[in-house]
Amino acid sequence: MSAQAIQDSYPPAFAHCYGCGANNQHGHHLKSYLVGNETVARFTPDLKYSGGVPDHVYGGMIASLLDCHGTASAAAYAYQKEGRQIGDGREPVRFVTASLKVDFKRPTPLGVELVVRGMLRSLDGRKAWIDLVLTAGELTCATGEMLAIRLPEPVDA
Amino acid sequence: MSAQAIQDSYPPAFAHCYGCGANNQHGHHLKSYLVGNETVARFTPDLKYSGGVPDHVYGGMIASLLDCHGTASAAAYAYQKEGRQIGDGREPVRFVTASLKVDFKRPTPLGVELVVRGMLRSLDGRKAWIDLVLTAGELTCATGEMLAIRLPEPVDA
C-alpha cells in the first residue's frame, strides 16, 4: 500500500476539496491508497447522510466518494506509469473530473464502512479512464466510470 | 410554477434524503419546481463546499444537486403525464436513480446561486430519462443525464 494517501500528495493550492482535500477543515477528508494494481478508499458516512429511505446512503454521497476517489486513482496511476512514488517531492500530479457516470446497483447501507476501489482502464497523455466500484461488505452497491484530465504542470502555484 | 416543491410531495417515509428530503433536519433541502415544460431548482452552496481549487464548487455537490433534482424532475413529469397536480393528495410519486452521468463543462463558481434545470427525454412505464443542466449566471457549468426508476406503489408506507 502506498505509504501516503494520494490526496495528501496534492499540491496545497489544489487540496481544498470538501470531499477529500487535506486543506478543507470542514470536509470528509477521503483518503485513497494505491494497493498493488488497484486503489482503495474506506469511508463510513455519518448517519445524517441518509437517502430518501432511512438507513441508506443518499446518492450524492455515493457520487462524491466515487468522484474524489476517481481523480485520486488517476493521479496514482500516473505516478505508477512514470515509475514514481506518490508524494516523491517532485512535481505533483493532479487530475480533475471531466465526466463521471454512476450506476446505482442497490441501496447502499448506512452505518457501515464503504470501500471504494478504482481500476485503471486507460491512461493516454492527460486523459485517464477509471473504473470504480463501491461495496458494503460483500454487496456491490454502485459502480462508476470516470474520465479524468490531468492538470497542466506546474500545479504547485 | 408548481405551487408545491416536488420534494414536498414525497411520502414521509421517503423524504429523508440529505440532499432534498423535508424530513432530514441536517440536509440541503433542495427544492425543485415544475415551470412550464421544465423543472427548476435554485441553490447557493455554502463556501465550505469548495473544490480542490478554492472559489469553485466540489464535484460531489454538483452531482448531488443533479441527482436530487433529476429524481424530482422524473416525479414531476409523471404527475404531468397523468394530468395530475403535484401533491394532489392521491398516491404520491417517487423515483430513485438508476444511473447518473455528469459532464463537468467548466469550474462551477462558489458563492453564487446555481440553477439546475431538468428536461424530460422520455417516460415509459416506470423508466424516466431526464436531461439536466447546471448553470451559474450565463455559464453552463455541468450537464447530466439520468435514468430514474419509479418506485412501485404504494410508496406511502
Q: Over the stretch A120-139, which tens digit does the pLDDT of each residue have? A: 999 999 999 999 999 999 99
- The model's pLDDT over A11-29, given as tens digits with 9 standing for 90+, comes to 888 899 999 999 999 999 9
Question: Order of strands across the sheet with A95-104?
Answer: A32-35, A38-43, A114-124, A127-136, A139-150, A95-104, B95-104, B139-150, B127-136, B114-124, B38-43, B32-35
What angle (nearest 5°) sits at the alpha carbon of residue B32, between those of residues B76 and B103? 95
pLDDT value of position A152? 87
pLDDT value of position A154? 63
A67/B64 touch (CB, cutoff 8 Å), yes or no:
no
| Pairwise CA distance, residues B55 & B51, whole Å | 8
Question: If DSSP states are collapsed to H, E and C, what string results for B76-110?
Answer: HHHHHHCCCCCCCCCCCCCEEEEEEEEEECCCCEC
- The model's pLDDT over A66-123, given as tens digits with 9 standing for 90+, comes to 999 999 999 999 999 999 999 898 989 999 999 999 999 999 999 999 999 999 999 9
Chain A residues with CB inside 8 Å of B99's CB? 101-104
B16/A60 touch (CB, cutoff 8 Å), yes or no:
no
Q: Which amino acid appears at position B115 of this protein?
A: V
pLDDT along chain B (157 residues), means of 10: 87 93 96 96 98 95 98 97 92 95 98 98 98 98 98 68
| Pairwise CA distance, residues A157 & B125, whole Å | 52
| Pairwise CA distance, residues A142 & A132, whole Å | 8
Name the residue facing A59 among B51, B54, B97 (closest C-beta).
B97
Residue B6: closest CA among B37, B36, B34: B34
Domain ranges of chain A: 6-150
pLDDT value of position B53? 87
Contact indicator for B108, B60 with CB cutoff of 8 Å: no
Longest dimension (CA), chain A: 47
Rounded to the nearest angstrom, the minimum Cα separation between B84 and chain A is: 23
Rounded to the nearest angstrom, the minimum Cα separation between B126 and chain A is: 16
Name the residue facing B97 among A19, A98, A104 (closest C-beta).
A104
pLDDT value of position B155? 57
pLDDT value of position B157? 47
| Pairwise CA distance, residues B108 & B105, whole Å | 9
| Pairwise CA distance, residues B31 & B151, whole Å | 20
Name the residue facing B63 among A10, A54, A63 (closest C-beta).
A63
Rounded to the nearest angstrom, the minimum Cα separation between B8 and chain A is: 12
ipTM surpasses cut 0.85 = yes
Q: Report residue A153's pLDDT band, with 50, 70 and 90 as the boundaries.
A: confident
Which residue from B minimizes the CA distance to A69? Answer: B60
CATH superfamily to which A6-150 belongs: Hotdog Thioesterase (3.10.129.10)
Best mutation site among A9, A20, A50 for testing chain B: the one with the most B CBs within 10 Å?
Answer: A50
Chain A residues with CB inside 8 Å of B15's CB? 52
pLDDT value of position A157? 47
